[in-house]
Amino acid sequence: MEDCLFCKIIAGDIPSTMIYEDEDTYAFYDIHPQTKAHALVVSKRHVPDLERNTALTDHELAACLRACATVARLMGLAQSGYRVVNNCGEDACQTVKHLHFHVLGGQKMAERMA
Ligand code: 5GP
Ligand code: ZN
């Protein structure tokens, strides 16, 4: 999609620090990390949010979750643990309207998420 920040990052038009890539997903460091380790995993196909997940194949959707685990391992979080977050829509304060998952870790996090 033309005016989408993450589509531009996937295309390489906006620079990012890549952690992992496969045919369905692209993962890179968040520009404003909220924890010591903070990555974003995005679906390569543009879908605005998780609510519109049926626009992706089961394979593409599963690839996102698998990529989260791979990225966590690549960031050295497999043993210590990590959190995967998806913000969907207004109440969740989603700012970029392209499906993405936050992989957070590297420190002890709050027990409550809201
Ligand atoms: P959301 O709030 O939509 O769940 O998450 C969007 C995330 O994208 C935020 O954590 C924000 O820091 C990150 N972000 C926004 N613009 C850029 C950018 O240009 N590059 C990178 N690497 N991350 C970005
Ligand atoms: Zn997009």
Specify the CATH number for the domain of residue 15. Answer: 3.30.428.10
Query: What count of Cα atoms within 13 Å lies in the side-chain half-sphere of residue 34?
Result: 11
Confirm whether 113 is domain-assigned: no
Asked if the structure places residue 68 within a domain, the reply is yes
Q: Tell me, yes or no, whether 111 lies in a domain.
A: no
Asked about 100 being catalytic, the answer comes back as yes
For ligand 1, atom 17: residue with the closest CA:
31
Is 57 domain-assigned? yes
**Tokens at 86, concatenated:** 């998806």
How many domains is the chain partitioned into structurally?
1
Burial class of residue 31, CB neighbours in 10 A (0-12, 13-18, 19+): exposed
What domain range is 17 assigned to? Answer: 5-105
- At 1, the pLDDT band (50, 70, 90 cuts) reads confident
**Does residue 44 lie within any of the structural domains?**
yes
Q: Probe ligand 1: pick from 9, 13, 31, max atoms within 8 Å of CB?
A: 31
Ligand nearest to the CA of 1: 2
- Within a domain: 112: no
Pairing state between β 18-21 and 25-29: antiparallel
User: pLDDT per residue over 35-71, tens digit each?
Assistant: 999 999 999 999 999 999 999 999 999 999 999 999 9
Look at ligand 1, atom 18, and give the residue with the nearest C-alpha: 31
